[in-house]
Amino acid sequence: MKFDPFIIPFNIGLYFIIIYVVARSVIWFHDLSRPDKLRLQRGFFGIPFALSLKEIFMESLIHRKILKTNLRLGYMHMSLAFGWFLLIFFGTIEADIFGTKHLNAPYKAIFFRFFNPEHGRIGFEATYGFLMDLILAFILSGLLLAVIKRFYSRVVGMKKTTRLKITDRIALTSLWLIFPSRLLAESFTCGAHGTGSFLTGSLGAWLASFLPAQQIAYPFWWLYSISLGTFFILLPISRYMHIPTELFLIFMRNSGIKTGDKAGTYSEVQTYSCSSCGICIDACQLNFSAGITNIQSAYLMKAIRNNDDVSEIVDNCLMCGRCDQKCPVGIELSPIRMIQRRGGEAENDIRNIYNGYFRSRQINIPEKVISSSNYSFLQESDPQKADILYFAGCMTHLTPAIKNSMIKILEASGVKYNFIDEQGGVCCGRPLMLAGQDKEARELINYNSQMIWKSGAHTLVTSCPICYKVFKESYYLDVEVLHHTQFIKKLIDEGSVKMNFLRKKVVYHSPCDLGRGSGVYDEPTEVLNHVSRLEKSDFEDENSLCCGGSLANMKISSQKRKKIALDAATELTKNNPDILATACPLCKKTFAAVTETRVADISEIVAEALIEKPIKINSGSHANSIKELANI
Amino acid sequence: MDKFGFTISAGRQIDYDSNNRRLAEYIFEKEPSFRLCIECGGCSATCTTANFTGFSLRELHILIKRGENDQVRQNLNKCMLCGKCTLVCPRGVNTRNIVVLAKNAFQKSDEYEI
C-alpha cells in the first residue's frame, strides 16, 4: 500500500507548519536591526552554533532546568518533547531501513505501522519494534501526568497551573489525542495481524480477542492523522508556537543579542518562546502571598501575544526578578515588562484569525506623549571636591540609622569623602524609570551626573540598591560605583577599619535590586561573616524573597504589601535569629514594620562592631562638621 | 479713576458647580485608597521635591478632590516619584499611584476632557 486518504489532514498540517515557520523566521530575521543581523550571522558560523545545539538538546528536549526545579514536572515535559523527538527520529530510521525504499515522505514514517502491518515479527525487526513501543510508552506516561496536572496541579508539584484560552484548549486536546490514538491505531492493526511488541502487541491481541480489530483500526488512523493536522494548524496561534520559536531564541541568545529598551524581533521571539509552563506563577510572591493570580509573566506573555490590553498586568509587579531566575526558557521577563511600561497604551488591533497568524509588523508600541521638562526648579550645585562621594539616596534619608552608621564607618576609615546629598538630594531616577517615564528620569540623571562629575570623585558609594542599579546601568559616569556593602568589604580587605566580632545570629535578606538586579551576592555575606554569625536561610541568593516594599509596583494595596512582607519575614526569621540583616533601606523599613526581630542594615551591624581608633584628622573642614553630626 | 494702592483679591470660594471633579472620580475608581487620606501632610513633609521648590502633595490631593485641576496640572510633573510619601503615609494611601494616575489622566485629557 502506498497511499491512503487518511494521511491528508496530517500532510496539510505538516506542510502548512513548515512553510509558516520558514516565513515567520524570514520576517523575524528581516526585522532585526543591522548589528543584530550581523551578530546572528556570526553566531551561526562559529562556536555559538555548537553551544546552541547543545542547549537545544539539553533544554528543548531534555528540559534540564525544569528537571532541576521540579522532577515530576520536568519528566512530564521531557517525556513529551524528547519522547516525541525520539519517536520521529527512530520512526524515520525504521521507515528508511524496513520500508520499501529509502528517503520516504514523512507520512511513511509516522504511519509506518499502517503501511507495514506485517512488520516486526522476528529478529532485528522485533527488537526495533520493542524500542518504538518503549518510546511510545515513555510519551504516554508523560501524557498521563499532563492530564492529571491539568486537573490536580499539585500532583506534579505545582501549586497553580496556567489558565488557557480557547485556541490553546483545542490545541491541547489535539495534542493529548495524538498519542493515545496512535497507540490504539497501532494496537488494532497489530492485533489484526498478530504483530507488535510488548505494548501495541499485547494490547492489540487483547482487543482483537473481542473486537473486529481490522475494521476499528481504520477510524483510529484517521483520528491520529486529524489530531496531528489540527495541532500543526493551531500551533502558530496557541502557546505551542514555543516549540519552533525556542530554537530561534536559543540561536539568537547565544549570538549575543540583547533585549534592549524597545520592542523588536528579539522581544517578540521571547514572547512566543513562553510555553506557559507556569513555573513563574509558582515563583511569584504576588501569587503565593498576596493572592494576585492574573499578572504573572506567563499571563503577560500571553496577553502580548494576543494583543490584549496589558495596562493592568504590567504595572502590578514588584519587578523582583524571581521569575527571570526561574524561567526554564531563560526569557528576559522583566526587561520585556519594562518595554511595555515605557510604551503608552497600545491601540487595540482588530483581532481576527489572520492577525493571530501574522501579527501586524508595527510591533513598536506607540511612544508616550511626554510633557515638557518640569524639573527646571533644580539649581546647579557646586559640590566640594572629594575622592569618594557618598550618596545616601531618598530611602536612606528615611532610615537615619543607616546614614549615621555609614558616616561613622567613613570617618573611621579616614578617607576623604563628601556626603553629597546630606541636605537631601535629587532622586536617582530609577523610580521614574520603573514607572516607564524614561525621559523625565533622564533629566534627573543629567542633574546628578553633572554634580558627580563636578566633584571630581573616583568612587561613588551609595546605600540604596535602587540607586546602585541605576548608577551602574543608566548613568554614563567615569567613576566606580559601589554599594556600601562592597565599599565596606573593600575597607576590611585593605585593613582600613578594624572591628570586633559580634556574638549574634544573623540571617541575611538579599535585596532584589542588589542581588538578582545587580548580581551582588558575595560582598554582603562576606562582610556579615566577618562580623557576626551568619546563618543560612531557605531563600538565598537567586532564590531570595522580595520584601514587598518594591517601588516597581504601583498598583498593589498597602495591605497586600504588608502580607508579602510578613510572609517573607516569617520565612527568614524561622530559626529565631538575633538580627534580620539586609542591605537596603527600603527592605529595612518594610520588614521593621512586620517583625519582632531586630531588622538592621549591614552598615549598622558593621558600625556596631567597629573599633574606633584615633581618627586621622581630615584635611577638609567639611569632614569635621560631619564628625560632629555623627556624634549627635 | 485714581488708584488708591489697594487691590481686590481674587475670590477664594470653592465653587463645586464650576469645578471639574472627573479627575478625582477617575482616581477614586482606580485607586480607592485615595479616600483614606486625612490630609496630615506627612507626604509633603518628607517630599524630595519639596526640598527644592514649593511643591506639596497634600495640597495637590486637596486640589484634585476639589476639582481645581489647573493648578494640579502645573505642579504635578515636579514629582520625582521617589516613593517616600507612600512609605511615610500613616493611612496606607498609595500616593505614588495617585500621581501616576493623574499624570496619565492629563495625558489623555485631550480625548476625555478631564
ipTM of the complex: 0.88
Give residue A619's pLDDT.
Answer: 47
% of chain A with per-residue pLDDT over 90: 62
Residue A351 pLDDT level (bands cut at 50, 70, 90): low
Task: Tell me whether residues A431 and B81 touch, CB distance under 8 A.
Answer: yes
Handedness of CA A316, B57, A599, A418 (dihedral sign): positive
- Inside any domain, residue A123: yes
- Mean pLDDT for B6-24 is 82
pLDDT in tens, A74-101: 999 999 999 999 999 999 998 888 877 7
The parent domain of residue A411 ranges over: 388-494
Give residue A119's pLDDT.
Answer: 83
Give residue A103's pLDDT.
Answer: 77
Residues A400 and A512 in one domain: no
Mean predicted lDDT score pLDDT of chain B: 87
Number of domains in chain A: 4
Q: For an interface test with B, which of A558, A562, A589, A590 has the most B Cβ atoms less than 10 Å from its Cβ? A: A558
Q: Which residues of chain B are within 8 Å of residue A551 when distances are taken between CB atoms?
A: 81-83, 96
Residues A73 and A212 in one domain: yes
pLDDT in tens, A294-315: 999 999 999 888 888 888 899 9
Instruction: Please say which residue of A243, A271, A298 terminates a domain.
Output: A243
Is residue A345 over pLDDT 90?
no
Q: How many CB pairs under 8 A join A and B?
A: 78
Q: Which residues of chain B are within 8 Å of residue A429 when distances are taken between CB atoms?
A: 80
Is residue A19 over pLDDT 50?
yes
Residue A119: CA atoms inside 13 Å, Cβ hemisphere, count?
A: 22
Q: Which residues of chain A are within 8 Å of residue B48 when distances are taken between CB atoms?
A: 394, 424-427
Is residue A260 over pLDDT 90?
no
Residues A528 and A465 in one domain: no
- Inside any domain, residue A108: yes
Residues of A with a Cβ under 8 Å from any B Cβ are 344, 368-369, 371, 374-375, 377-379, 394-395, 397-398, 423-427, 429, 431-432, 435, 437, 440, 444, 549, 551, 554-559, 586, 589
Residue A616 pLDDT level (bands cut at 50, 70, 90): low
Domains of chain B: 22-112 (1.10.1060.10)
* Chain centroid offset of residue A626 CA: 44
Task: Name which residue leads in pLDDT, A27 or A343.
Answer: A27
Residues A183 and A223 in one domain: yes
Ranking A8-12, A343-347, A494-498 by mean pLDDT, the lowest is A343-347
* Chain A residue closest in CA terms to B108: A369
* Chain B residue closest in CA terms to A556: B94
- Identity (one letter) of the amino acid at A584? C
Residue A127, phi then psi, degrees to nearest 5: -60, -45
- Mean pLDDT for A42-62 is 89
Q: For an interface test with A, which of B27, B33, B87, B100 has the most A Cβ atoms less than 10 Å from its Cβ? A: B87
Residues A321 and A407 in one domain: no
Residues A31 and A156 in one domain: yes
Task: Tell me whether residues A424 and B87 touch, CB distance under 8 A.
Answer: no
Residues A15 and A138 in one domain: yes
- Inside any domain, residue A378: no
Is residue A621 over pLDDT 50?
no
Residue B70 pLDDT level (bands cut at 50, 70, 90): confident
Q: For an interface test with B, which of A311, A375, A584, A589 has the most B Cβ atoms less than 10 Å from its Cβ? A: A375
- Residues facing residue A367 across a β-bridge: A343
Please check whether residue B53 is in contact with residue B17, taking contact to mean a CB–CB distance below 8 angstroms: no
Give residue A356's pLDDT.
Answer: 74
Residue B5 pLDDT level (bands cut at 50, 70, 90): confident
Report how many helices (DSSP H) and strands (DSSP E) chain A contains, helices first.
31, 8
CATH number at residue A580: 3.40.50
Collect all residues with Cβ–Cβ distance below 8 Å to A113 and sequence separation of at least 6: A119, A185, A186, A189, A190, A200
Give residue A323's pLDDT.
Answer: 94
- Inside any domain, residue A616: no
> DSSP string spanning A365-404?
PPBPPPPPP--TTPPP--PPP-SEEEE--HHHHH-HHHHH
Give residue B105's pLDDT.
Answer: 87
pLDDT in tens, B20-54: 888 999 999 999 999 999 999 999 999 999 989 88
- Inside any domain, residue A368: no
pLDDT in tens, A406-446: 999 999 998 899 999 888 889 999 999 999 888 889 999 99
CATH number at residue A439: 3.40.50.1860
Residues A409 and A521 in one domain: no
Touching A: B residues 9-28, CB under 8 Å: none
CB atoms within 10 A of CB A421: 26
> DSSP string spanning A591-606?
HHTT-SSEEEEHHHHH
Residue B94 pLDDT level (bands cut at 50, 70, 90): very high
Is residue A232 over pLDDT 60?
yes
| Run of H or E including A461 | strand A459-462
Residues A271 and A410 in one domain: no
pTM of the model: 0.88
* Chain centroid offset of residue A150 CA: 22
- Mean pLDDT for A448-477 is 93
Mean predicted lDDT score pLDDT of chain A: 88
pLDDT in tens, A543-579: 999 999 999 998 999 999 999 999 999 999 999 999 9
Residue A326 CB-density burial (10 A; 0-12 exposed, 13-18 middle, 19+ buried): buried
Give residue B109's pLDDT.
Answer: 67
